[in-house]
Structure 1
């Protein structure tokens, strides 16, 4: 079992004031990888009691700007938040149920940062989304694959 992160230290190192909503939202994102905003709000309310939607949105925006959380939004899906930051990983998304999982780059540390033509840009991040069907959906609907 991994020790829980020191959220207060994380906030201070990012020059953010330590507040109960910020700690609760950081904890929610760490406990619920790839959570949508509603899931984060519910988890924050479990920890704090009453907290407004706007407060959680504001905290998520501040934490994302400070790079303490990462916001992802696969095409056609709600925005999701994750605590895995600072590396160049990607995601796989189930077309059926929307489940999301992390996928490391296939080779080396940051091979995905080498574009075939960078058009003069200094590239510091690449985002790849793999789409498919998760194991649970594959076994739940085996006939769907035959029909496709």
Structure 2
């Protein structure tokens, strides 16, 4: 956990990418957990990337202009839910999210206009979706 303001001192960018290389361990594969997320000072989700072991999907979420959280799901990614190393990258543009897995483009999906991301909270890595105080065990490269 780290203060988001330290990571984004000029505010959260309109376009950005997030990339990581990781390996799940056996008890993580079937969980729903946030690989990365930004929460405001009240712990409310602002933006992030979730691995949904129940649905074998990667989900990207972010706030809209209306203040709601929109979720873009990339289903059918059973390749990620094993104990091997994987590289995942999400590119976020004004109207599109692009997912790459192991250096191959998987899909592009449209998104609604992005809203303000509050940087007064924290940036969290590898936390359970239902309990952001609980870390999941993964190996990051």
TM-score (norm: length of structure 2): 0.24
Which structure has more strand as a fraction of its residues? 2
Q: Which has the larger radius of gyration?
A: 1
Greater relative contact order (Cα 8 A, min sep 6): structure 1 or 2? 2
